[in-house]
Structure 1
Amino acid sequence: MLRNAIVWLDARAEEESTRIAKNFSPELLYKTTGLPEMSPIWPAPKILWLKKNEPDVFNHTSKFLIVKDYLIWKLTGKFSTEPTESSSTFYLKLKEKDWWDEMLDFIGIKRDKLPIIFPSYEVVGNVSSQVKSQFGLCTNTKVVAGSMDQMAAALGAGNVEPGIITESTGTALGVVATVDTPVYDPKRRVPCAAHCVPDRFVLYPYAETSGIVLKWFRDTFPSLSDRKEDYGQLLQLASRVSPGAEGLLALPHFTGTACPDFNPQARGAFVGISFKHQRTHFVRALVEAVAFMLRENIDLLKGLSIPVRKVRSLGGAAKSDVWLKIKADVLNVPVEVPECSEAASLGAAVLAGVGAKVFSGINQAVKEVVKVKKSFYPEPDNVAIYQKIYQDYLSLYQKL
């Protein structure tokens, strides 16, 4: 290594991002890479930044790698990548799953500066003798190319064909829809990327704040002086309040919005507060607000003709029956919870199993290892209540 890694959230390449955006039309960038917006967080402008600001590092670099691919090189001594992670570089052609020469020319690198692209389930190589002695692994241990976490989680939850949607409500919100071919939003509101499943792609709308709003509320307005409530206790408070939180409505956009409306200036709000509202109502309003935000992104997918038969919930919020039931009522589709709570790890294990020939293919592996633990179905009365409140939620966002 010639320098410390530049993490993906690092926004130092603002000027370089602007340069790229001026030289390539938004439509060309989106249709080629699947990424709706040029941003300094992507590797392409970061490489351009290195070329200008650290020319010695740039000129002496033999390979530009994403973190996962660097770790695989350390394990095997081989340079590799795969389409799910490389979809976020801005120099991968999405349909062809190949490097985009026009972008490489602009940022000043050749193909030999990038690793070979493997399918996510393919073996890159065995662990090296050095790794064997360091970690006590057998040199026959195989290392597969792997996947981005959201796509691996989709695989681990059985989201491998159109109709099943996975959503992860954790600190942020991530939604994944599997599609057979790349789907492009005419308004460029949602990214499209390669799936870790062969011949599949994903749409993955997201929001920057989600379950973290509950942490904010718990820490800012504690009920216990000696210790913090766990989230299970907090969510039980929400169950004591009827749908709609007796007129209290929240917006969960504490750090801006992403999909379907990119607005970094948007902020959170509580509206409709009265003397009857207690701590329980505020918790309920926040939980419902996150469910409404999820519906916004599900509706975005439906507007692009993506079928939504069921939703499988992942992340910390999937531990709460209260929240899952609210989501089913707000979305008006069944919400399921996989038996394995660590879906991304299971998805990675499936890829490893296919690569090591433990399974004949991904479909066989999914049938054998992916099970549904719980299902929640919408109640018509609650669906009707939430339909009106959801419209109020959308209207409130537009007004604020």
Structure 2
Amino acid sequence: MTLTLGVDIGTYETKGVLVDPEGTVVAVARTPHEMIVPRPGWAEHRPEEDWWRDFVTVTRKLLAEPGVTADRIAAVAVSAIGPCMLPVDADGAPLMNGVLYGVDTRAMAEVAELTDRIGEETILERCGNALTSQSVGPKILWLRHNRPELYAKAAKVLTSTSFLVHRLTGEFVIDHYTAANFSPLYDVGEQGWCFDLADDIATREMLPRLAWSTEIAGAITETAAEATGLRAGTPVTAGTIDAASEAISVGLRDPGDMMMMYGSTIFIIGLTENRVRDPRLWYAPWLFPGQHASMAGLATSGTLTHWFRDQFARELTGEGVFGQLAAEAAEVPAGAGGLLFLPYFSGERTPIHDPHAKGAFFGLNLTHGRGHLYRALLEGIAMGTNHVVETYDAVGARPSRVLAVGGGVQNAIWLQATSDLSGLPQEICRTTLGASYGDAFLARMALGEAEIDDIARWNPVERRIEAQDAPDLTRAYPLFRRLYEQTKDIAREVSE
């Protein structure tokens, strides 16, 4: 029985999985890495160590499992955090660290410059997205402005997934869903690269070939086979961003479906009948021709639980640290005793797109303890998520089904607060491995051995979170919104 290999590079961890044709997980491997923050507003990964070495590590671990051999692996699919910006030379060697997705806000001057030069309406109409910290185009222009010697050496500009695909196959390929984040270099109507909006960012030769996510990009080279242990000639798909693979893994397939990913960040993907045009949200063609996706994401979510643990729970040890913190928070009623929390530790992405936004605890008094703080943190993330849901409501794209996935689904307070505030039930599938599992399914589709509806058989819904009445929480939500509005000017001045 053949297997498909899915590997996903996340913000803090790389995960690989081998899956059989019925969706049964045969083996799983993980390895951690770190996000580098060299200065406030910057976020980076090391491509050789955090992307390629991690891929090799988890693949070698999987191949060491009993009964697993390279000749059993029929296809490989990869996903990774995105959109990232990585200049490489003609051989695909990185020229610097990879600049991460919207949590990296270094190119905001270029965002303003390009928006002023091209015009907001033109950018939204042609590219489907307002220029924000999520956009790759301004980050390439930042490279040209601030690292001209590296820009001059750049033969290609890749993202995390396309770097891995090149390292495996020797091909420079990027999927349409990821490419749509290269605004203003991708025309969503034409579904192709465009250079007439800003011809000083990159040339056509600098950008990878476009493909759909289930297209075969190439095959494992002899060099990649020697490094990874995979069989030379094994087909590799074009891949995609991790959130898209994660959405596939839990059955996102029809208009009205929404994936809510509880990871290092909250990331949301909603499938819609038609293209959504709104600067508060992101748009991209979905992984398959003729389908539309509307996206949103917070800048920091699960990352904040790690920050809280490291700063306020250093005495707690072992794997159950987050369980202990959750138990303390569970002793506090909803509303966290009047505490409000702004989760804007790396600015904020959707829907406010404010790189100067700041994190804050507000309303502290002498009765508050660690449990109050941790509950307020979880509820603050849920409030930020509800702000996004309200934006979907405003553009007529309220979901008919929400699929929750990611490590955060193990956190009952976080999950319940999100449903209570939004009024949306959430479905959780049997397998919550995430993007790597979705990659393995996409690899099976690329072989022509699965259709999108088969994912419901691979990964059925196992439980459902119903929205409950939480008056203290819902009363706090308007105050959360007002707290940001009334402090955003102060936050900007602090940044400056």
TM-score w.r.t. the length of structure 2 is 0.71
1:57–1:296 distance in 2 versus 1, CA, 3 Å = closer
| Shift of residue 145, structure 1, vs aligned partner | 0.6
8 Å Cα contact 2:106/2:139 also seen in 1? no
Matched, 1:123 2:212: no
Matches within 5 A, 1:289-328: 289-328=380-419
Offset of residue 301 of structure 1: 0.8
Structure-2 change in CA distance of 1:226 and 1:85 (3 Å): closer
- 2:227, 2:359 → 1: CA distance? 49
Distance 1:256 1:53, change over 3 A: closer
The aligned residue for residue 434 of structure 2 is 343
Secondary structure of residue in 1 paired with 2:217: strand
Partner Cα distance (1:205, 1:183) in 2: 12
What is the aligned-residue identity percentage? 25
- Are the counterparts in 2 of residues 162 and 306 from structure 1 also a CA contact under 8 Å? no
2:290 to 186, 191, 199: 199
SS of residue paired to 2:375: helix
Match status 1:102 vs 2:189:
no
- CA spacing shift, 1:352–1:247, aligned 2, 3 Å: same
User: Which of residues 484, 487, 491 is equivalent to 1:397?
Assistant: 484
Tell me the distance in 2 between the aligned counterparts of 1:40 and 1:371. Answer: 32
Report the Cα distance in structure 1 between the residues aligned to 2:315 and 2:147, rounded to whole angstroms. Answer: 51
1:362 lines up with 2:452 in the alignment: yes
Structure 1: gaps of 5 or more residues: none
For residues 18 and 395 of structure 1, the distance between their equivalents in structure 2, rounded to whole angstroms, comes to: 26
Q: Which runs of 5+ in 2 are unaligned?
A: 1-87, 488-496
Distance across 1 between alignment mates of 2:233 and 2:319? 47
**In structure 2, how many angstroms separate the alpha carbons of the residues matched to 1:269 and 1:6?**
30
State the secondary structure of the residue aligned to 2:182. coil
Matched letter for residue 345 of structure 2 = F
Give the letter aligned to residue 262 of structure 2.
T
Among 287, 297, 301, which residue is 2:378 paired with? Answer: 287
Counterpart Cα distance in 1 of 2:134 and 2:333: 44
The answer to whether structure 1 residue 144 and structure 2 residue 231 are counterparts is no
The alpha carbon displacement at 1:279 in A equals 2.4
User: Using a 3 Å threshold, how does the CA distance of structure 1 residues 232 and 73 change in structure 2: closer, same or farther?
Assistant: same
Instruction: Please give the per-residue CA displacement for 1:239-276, whole angstroms capped at 9, x wherever unaligned.
Output: 11222223222222233322221233332333333443
In 2, distance between residues paired with 1:11 and 1:28? 23
- Which of 261, 280, 285 is the matching residue for 2:352? 261
Within 5 A, what are the aligned runs for 1:1-400? 2=89, 4-5=95-96, 7-9=98-100, 17=111, 19-37=113-131, 42-43=136-137, 46=140, 49-50=143-144, 54=148, 58=152, 62-90=155-183, 91-103=185-197, 105-107=199-201, 109=203, 111-185=204-278, 188-222=279-313, 224=315, 230-359=321-450, 361-363=451-453, 365-379=454-468, 381-382=469-470, 384-400=471-487
Aligned residue pairs total 392
| 2:64 aligned partner | none
Per the TM alignment, residue 142 of structure 1 is displaced from its structure 2 partner at its CA by 0.8
> Could you tell me how far 1:181 is from its partner in structure 2?
2.6
Q: CA deviation at 1:39?
A: 5.2
Change (3 A) 1:228 1:61: closer
Residues 67 and 47 (structure 1), Cα distance of their counterparts in 2 relative to 1, 3 Å cut = farther
Q: Show CA shifts across 1:198-237 (max 9, x none).
A: 3222222212122333333333333737779611111122
Instruction: State the Cα distance separating 1:324 from its structure 2 match.
Output: 1.8
> 1 or 2, which has the higher strand percentage?
2
Cα distance in structure 2, aligned partners of 1:39 and 1:237: 35
Cα offset, 1:33, TM superposition: 1.6
Q: Deviations over 1:170-204 (max 9, x none)?
A: 3322121112332111xx11211222243222222
Any idea what the Cα deviations from partners look like across 1:90-148, whole Å, max 9, x if unmatched?
A: 21111322111414644352x34433211111112222233334434333411111111
CA distance in 2, matches of 1:6, 1:239: 40
Structure 1 residues 281 and 12: alpha-carbon distance in aligned structure 2, compared to 1, 3 A threshold: closer
TM-score in terms of structure 1 length: 0.87
Name the SS of the counterpart of 2:424 in structure 1: coil
RMSD across aligned C-alpha pairs, in angstroms?
2.9
Cα pair 2:169 2:236 within 8 Å, conserved: yes
Between the aligned partners of 2:141 and 2:179, the Cα distance in structure 1 is: 14
